[in-house]
C-alpha cells in the first residue's frame, strides 16, 4: 500500500528537460509548523542557513538501456558476490513500453554482437533476472559504446546522457538517474557555500525501478565515506538528504562511515534517525519512495503537499519539479 493515494494526470508528467535546471518549481513543506510554501529551486540558498549540511549522491548515470533482438534490456545493479560480467537486468518490449516475459536459460542477442544469458529470477521475483553478459570487455565499457539512458513512455524523445547526469556526479554506476539532484547547478552550489551551507557526499548506485509494479527497493551498492561521517557528527544545523538514495545510505550506517550492499527499507514505522530533511522529486502513486517521504514528513503534511502540488500543476518525474521537506 502507498503512503498516500492519488491519481496523476498525464499532463503533469514532465516530458522533456526544462530550459534551466534550477528554475524548476520547489514546494517547501515545513515539519515544525506544517506551513507550505511555493518557491523556485534557485531560491534554495534563502531557505537553508549556516551550519546546514546538504548530502548528495555522486553516483553517475550509465547508458543502461540496450536494444536487442525482439526486446530492450535495462541493465540494473551489479550482482552481489559475483564478478562484473553478472548483472541484474530487466527485459522489456522492443519499444521499452512494458516488461517482457523472460525465462531462465534464454539467450538474448544485443546490439554490438554481445549476448546476454538469463540465468535465474533475481531474489525470487518475476520482473528482474540475473544475467551474464558475454562481451569483449567490462559491462560499463560495453554500455558506453552501445547503450543509451533508460527512459519511459512519458519521455517521447531521446535525450543525451548529459541530461540524465547531476552536475556533481563523479562515480559511474547508476542505472537510473538519482534525479533529486538534477536541479543543482555549479552556480547554485557556489551560492549555498557563500551562505554557509555545507555539502557532503555519499555514493549509492541506483538500480532499475518499475513504473508498473512499484516493488520495495532491491539491494543497492553504497559508500558513506569517513569525511561525510565526520561532517554529520559535527553538523550544527540540519542534515538535508538530496534524494531517497541518500536517505537509504545514511540510515543504513546510522550516519557513520561504511560501504557494501544495503537492503534497508524505510517506512513510517522505522522512521529516520540521521536526516532532518529531504530534497526530492514528485513520485507516482504507489511508489515505494512515498514511504520514505512519509517517514520524514508524516502522513498529514505529505498528503497536503501532494494535494497542493496536484492542484497547482507541479510536474512529475526526473525532469519535473522539486519538493523540500524539512
Range of the domain at 206: 10-61+160-325
**Does 284 share its domain with 309?**
yes
Assess whether 139 and 192 both reside in one domain: no
Query: Is 2 within the bounds of a domain?
Result: no
Tens-digit pLDDT profile for residues 231-276 = 999 999 999 999 999 999 999 999 999 999 999 999 999 999 999 9
pTM equals 0.96
Backbone angles phi, psi at 106, to 5 degrees: -70, 140
- The percent of residues in the chain predicted with pLDDT above 90, rounded, is 91
What does the longest C-alpha to C-alpha distance in the chain come to? 59
Q: What is the mean pLDDT of residues 177-183?
A: 98
Same domain, 192 and 303: yes
322 phi/psi in degrees, rounded to 5: -125, 165
Half-sphere exposure of 200 toward its Cβ, with a 13 Å CA cutoff? 30
In a shared domain, residues 247 and 279: yes
Q: Are residues 131 and 178 in the same domain?
A: no
Domain match, 121 and 201 both: no
Task: Give yes or no: residues 178 and 309 share one domain.
Answer: yes
Structure confidence by residue, pLDDT tens digits, 220-241: 999 999 999 999 999 999 999 9
The model's confidence at residue 1, banded by pLDDT at 50, 70 and 90, is very low
Pairing of strands 198-204, 53-57: parallel
d(CA 157, CA 207): 22
Q: Are residues 272 and 317 in the same domain?
A: yes
Last residue of a domain, one of 146, 177, 211: 146
- Residue ranges in 237-288 assigned as alpha helix (H): 244-253
Query: For the purposes of burial, counting CB atoms within 10 Å of the CB of 119, is it exposed (0-12), middle (13-18) or buried (19 or more)?
Result: middle
| 225 alpha-carbon distance from chain centroid | 19
Q: Distance between CA 281 and CA 261 in Å, rounded?
A: 24
Domain count, the chain: 2
- Does pLDDT of 3 surpass 80? no
**Which tens digits make up the pLDDT trace of 87-119?**
999 999 999 889 999 999 999 999 999 999 999
Does 214 have pLDDT greater than 80? no
Task: Check residue 23 and give left, alpha or beta (phi > 0: left; psi -120 to 50: alpha).
Answer: alpha
Please report the pLDDT score of residue 286 as a whole number.
83
Nine-digit cell string for 102: 523472460
User: What are 258-263's contacts with CB under 8 Å, separation 24+?
Assistant: 258/223, 258/224, 259/222, 259/223, 259/224, 260/221, 260/222, 261/80, 261/219, 261/220, 261/221, 261/222, 262/204, 262/219, 262/220, 262/222, 263/219
The model's pLDDT over 52-87, given as tens digits with 9 standing for 90+, comes to: 999 999 999 999 999 999 999 999 999 999 998 999
Residue 153 lies in a domain: no
Q: Computed over its alpha carbons, how large is the radius of gyration of the chain?
A: 19
CA distance 126 to 20: 39
Average pLDDT of the chain to the nearest whole number? 95
Q: Give Cα separations from 147 to 38, 75, 85, 155, 206 (angstroms).
A: 38, 9, 16, 17, 17
For 211, the enclosing helix (H) or strand (E) is none
Check whether residue 182 and residue 232 sit in a common domain.
yes
Between residues 1 and 245, the one the model is more confident about: 245
Rounded to 5°, angle at Cα 24 from 20 and 26? 150
DSSP conformational letter for 246: H
The confidence band for 4, taking pLDDT boundaries of 50, 70 and 90, is confident
Amino acid at each position: 500500500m502507498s503512503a498516500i493515494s492519488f491519481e496523476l494526470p498525464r499532463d503533469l508528467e514532465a516530458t522533456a528537460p526544462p530550459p534551466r535546471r534550477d528554475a524548476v518549481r520547489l514546494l517547501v513543506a515545513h515539519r515544525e509548523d506544517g506551513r507550505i510554501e511555493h518557491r523556485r529551486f534557485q531560491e534554495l540558498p534563502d531557505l537553508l542557513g549556516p551550519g546546514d549540511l546538504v548530502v548528495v549522491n555522486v553516483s553517475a548515470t550509465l547508458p543502461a538501456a540496450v536494444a536487442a533482438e525482439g526486446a530492450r534490456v535495462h541493465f540494473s545493479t551489479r550482482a552481489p558476490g559475483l564478478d562484473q560480467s553478472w548483472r541484474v537486468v530487466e527485459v522489456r518490449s522492443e519499444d521499452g513500453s512494458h516488461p517482457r516475459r523472460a525465462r531462465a536459460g534464454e539467450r538474448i542477442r544485443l546490439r554490438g554482437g554481445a549476448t546476454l544469458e538469463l540465468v535465474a529470477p533475481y531474489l525470487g521475483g518475476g520482473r528482474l533476472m540475473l544475467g551474464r553478459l558475454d562481451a569483449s570487455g567490462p559491462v560499463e565499457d560495453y554500455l558506453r559504446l552501445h547503450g543509451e539512458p533508460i527512459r519511459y513512455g512519458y519521455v517521447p524523445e531521446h535525450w543525451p546522457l548529459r541530461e540524465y547526469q547531476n552536475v556533481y556526479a563523479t562515480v559511474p554506476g547508476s542505472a537510473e538517474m538519482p534525479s533529486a539532484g538534477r536541479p543543482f547547478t555549479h552556480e547554485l552550489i557556489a551560492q549555498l557555500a557563500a551562505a554557509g551551507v555545507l555539502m557532503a557526499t555519499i555514493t549509492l548506485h541506483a538500480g532499475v525501478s518499475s513504473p508498473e509494479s512499484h516493488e520495495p527497493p532491491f539491494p543497492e551498492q553504497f559508500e558513506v565515506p569517513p569525511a561525510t561521517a565526520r561532517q554529520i557528527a559535527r553538523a550544527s544545523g540540519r542534515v538535508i538528504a538530496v534524494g531517497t538514495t541518500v536517505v537509504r545510505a545514511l540510515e543504513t550506517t546510522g550516519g557513520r562511515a561504511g560501504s557494501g550492499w544495503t537492503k534497508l527499507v524505510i517506512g513510517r514505522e522505522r522512521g529516520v534517525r540521521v536526516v532532518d530533511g529531504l530534497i526530492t522529486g514528485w513520485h507516482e502513486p504507489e511508489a515505494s519512495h512515498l514511504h520514505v517521504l512519509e517517514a520524514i514528513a508524516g502522513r498529514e503534511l505529505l498528503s497536503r503537499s501532494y494535494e497542493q502540488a496536484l492542484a497547482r500543476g507541479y510536474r512529475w518525474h526526473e525532469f519535473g519539479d522539486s519538493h523540500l521537506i524539512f
